[in-house]
Amino acid sequence: MSESEEPKENDQRVQRRANLAALVERGVSPYPQSFRCTDTVSAIVAAHGDTSGDDLDAAQNHTTVAGRILIIRSFGKARFLVISDGVSRVQVYVRKDALSERDFAIATRLDKGDHIGVEGRLFRTRTDELSVWAGSLEFLAKCFLPLPEKWHGLTDVETRYRQRYLDLIVNPAARRVFEVRARVLSVIRTFLVDRGFLEVETPMMHAVAGGALARPFTTHHNALDMSLFLRIAPELYLKRLVVGGVERVFEINRNFRNEGVSTQHNPEFTMLELYQAYADYTDIM
């Protein structure tokens, strides 16, 4: 096999399991219960991304950080690892003479996708790369399946939608969608709460398929021996709250409609619905 060729997936799985077995033989826990970090990768990059190498050497900043290995480069008794917390990346510099025999054995048995914990000091390499000079390593979790190769990434749309976890690992843009969505929901909630609206949660299973004209999903309640419907919309229960004296009310939650599926239309979706007493459409707009 040439150096440019990647091992077949089955071969990689065999090798990864062998690497894990070798660590277990050395007494390394394959899945430790916890690892205490003083920083995240993102925090390190944010705090020291513009700090010069001389300033880092003078400050002797030590950190304990964990992340997933995305890149491994080996140079004899030294290794460079690039780890990520899903947002930012930082390089880890591993030298045999700076680690215990156990920790360097861990370094030689790592694969891309593994999770590790690192304790060390911050510095910059000759190429001015912000890095952690590892003083100790902890093995945190083994990745048995190889990540998509570097240059082409994950481009198959079907795989991206069915394996979101993989999409999040290799496509930073996918994570940004999640982050933007969370911020939008937070802003909407703050906007409504600041204007006197009360957020509630109403039943997900309804005795009557009402609230909108759509085909419902059906289920059965065994204890009550009755048919129920996953809600199409929360409208009826929200209006009951208004009748009960809750003058401003809203809900952000899941609804279910047994209809077509596409990238723009999902049978299970999140919806905002709100009601305000003594208001008309101009107030809502």
**Which residue type does 182 have?**
A
Q: Are 35 and 66 in contact (CB under 8 A)?
A: yes
Average per-residue pLDDT for the chain:
91
Please tell me the predicted confidence (pLDDT) of residue 3: 46
Please tell me the predicted confidence (pLDDT) of residue 157: 81
Tokens of 60: 């002797």
Average pLDDT over residues 60-83: 94
- Residue-wise pLDDT tens digits, 223-275: 999 999 999 999 999 999 999 999 999 999 999 999 888 878 889 999 999 99
Instruction: Return the residue matching tokens 């009550």.
Output: 224
135 shares a domain with 199: no
CATH number at residue 70: 2.40.50.140
Q: Return the closest-CA partner of residue 259 out of 223, 209, 193, 184.
A: 209
- Residue-wise pLDDT tens digits, 86-116: 899 999 999 999 999 999 999 999 999 999 9
> Range of 199's domain?
195-284
Tokens of 254: 């899941």
113 shares a domain with 36: yes
Give the pTM.
0.79
Number of domains in the chain: 2
CATH number at residue 271: 3.30.930.10
Tokens of 30: 């394959």
Please tell me the predicted confidence (pLDDT) of residue 10: 79
207 shares a domain with 95: no
Instruction: Return the residue matching tokens 């809203």.
Output: 250
* Residues facing residue 118 across a β-bridge: 65, 137
Cα gap 133→124, rounded to integer Å: 9
Residue 98 lies in a domain: yes
Please tell me the predicted confidence (pLDDT) of residue 195: 96
Helices 101-108 + 9-25 axis angle, to 10: 170
Query: Distance of CA 145 to CAs 163, 175, 206, 261, Å?
Result: 13, 21, 42, 30
Please tell me the predicted confidence (pLDDT) of residue 115: 97
133 shares a domain with 28: yes
Confidence of residue 42 (pLDDT cuts 50, 70, 90): very high
Residue 19 lies in a domain: yes
Please tell me the predicted confidence (pLDDT) of residue 8: 61
21 shares a domain with 136: yes
